[in-house]
Amino acid sequence: MEQGSDNLMIELKNVSKTFNGRLVLDGLDLSVKTGESLVIIGRSGCGKSVTLKHIIGILRPDCGEVRVDGKDITKLNVKELNKMRMNFGMLFQGAALFDSLSVLKNVGFQLFEYSEMTLDEIKRRVAECLSRVGLKGIEDAKPSELSGGMKKRVGLARAICMFPKIILFDEPTTGLDPIMGDVINDLIRHLHDTLKMTSVTVTHDMKSAYKIADRIAMLYDKKIIAVGTPEEIENSDNPIVKQFVTGAAEGPINSTED
């Protein structure tokens, strides 16, 4: 047994993934401690979301291991994987609410599907989750009637509805105005602190990263090139990290590259 591995909630070892002949992840290693908030930063299209989708098992790596709570999820069958996913909540970039279902059905999706709770109990739990994200009385609305910020918050409520152990955020502030972005950042930090969840956030918004993170990992050229506390990343000597966090056009990262 590796030293300290019992303290790790998520562990990616030597993960590689190819899409249509294009290598997206190449031997990526990453670990997330129980109860910490890790933020993965990197340029658009560098494989951050792909990494996140490996953690929850939507994508399977071509090679390598993905360990969640000590179990290698790449070896699980569909049933075990579905069971394991009950420990997860995920907020998608565009919230990914189900258009055909009301907010109540969206947020309480897993309760309706898998719990024995009565409608009243579900309604109460959904109202509680919505109030945690600062929403009230919109249970009967359809997602198409909500604004972008509200959709994100409903998505967040859906992700925390089962009080998961691990929560994943895919670009939580993208597409929102700066104020709403900051509200979401505060909300994520607050939920993380109050619900004691392990969280992994993917973003290219440095303000968001500093606010949410206990640790920041930088993904560049298919690998994690730096991991550290927000201060360490901010004051990093690595020229690539430095260029990214300062947002400079000039530097080792080629701006014309995908």
Partner 1 sequence: MGRLLIKGFIGNFLNSTYRNIKVFFRYVGSLAILLFRTIFWMFIPPIRKRQILEQMNNIGVKSFPIVFLISTFTGIVLALQSAYQMQKFSAEMYIASLVALSVTRELGPVLTALVIAGRCGAAMTAELGTMKVTEQVEALETLSANPVQYLVVPRFLALIIMVPLLTICADFFGIMGGYLIGVGKLGISHGMYLKMTFDPLALKDIVTGLIKSFSFAVIICVIACFEGVHSAGGAEGVGRATTASVVRSFIMIIIADCFFTALFYFIMAK
Residue 69: burial class (beta carbons within 10 Å; 0-12, 13-18, 19+):
middle
Pairing of strands 63-68, 71-72: antiparallel
* Residues between 113 and 132 that touch partner 1 (CB under 8 A): 113-114
Q: Of the listed pieces 28-36, 63-71, 93-101, 183-191, which binds partner 1 according to CB under 8 A?
A: 93-101
67/158 with CB nearer partner 1: 158
What angle, rounded to 10 degrees, do the helices at 178-195 and 148-160 form? 10
| Residue 215 is a binding residue for partner 1 (CB under 8 A) | no
Figure out which of the listed residues 98, 131, 235, 255 binds partner 1, where binding follows CB under 8 A.
98
| Residue 99 is a binding residue for partner 1 (CB under 8 A) | yes
Q: What angle do CA 73, 74, 80 make, to 5 degrees?
A: 50
Cα 176 from chain centroid? Answer: 17
Q: Of the listed pieces 33-41, 78-86, 121-129, 216-224, which binds partner 1 according to CB under 8 A?
A: 78-86
* Residues between 125 and 164 that touch partner 1 (CB under 8 A): 158
Q: Of the listed pieces 4-12, 40-48, 80-88, 179-187, which binds partner 1 according to CB under 8 A?
A: 80-88
96/240 with CB nearer partner 1: 96
Q: How many CB atoms lie within 10 A of CB 215?
A: 18
Figure out which of the listed residues 92, 169, 220, 244 binds partner 1, where binding follows CB under 8 A.
92
| Residue 83 is a binding residue for partner 1 (CB under 8 A) | yes
Compute CA distances 255 → 50, 154, 178, 223, 249, whole Å. 21, 35, 24, 18, 7
At residue 96, what are phi and psi to the nearest 5 degrees?
A: 50, 40
Each residue 38-67 as x (binds partner 1 by CB under 8 A) or -, in order, gives: ---------------x--x-x---------
Would you list the DSSP string of 38-64? Answer: EEEE--TTSSHHHHHHHHTTSS--SEE
| Residue 94 is a binding residue for partner 1 (CB under 8 A) | yes
Bridge partners for 72 per DSSP: 67
Figure out which of the listed residues 17, 85, 132, 204 binds partner 1, where binding follows CB under 8 A.
85
Using CB under 8 A as the criterion, which residues of the chain lie in contact with partner 1 when the complex forms? Answer: 53, 56, 58, 78, 82-83, 85-86, 88-90, 92-94, 96-99, 109-110, 113-114, 158
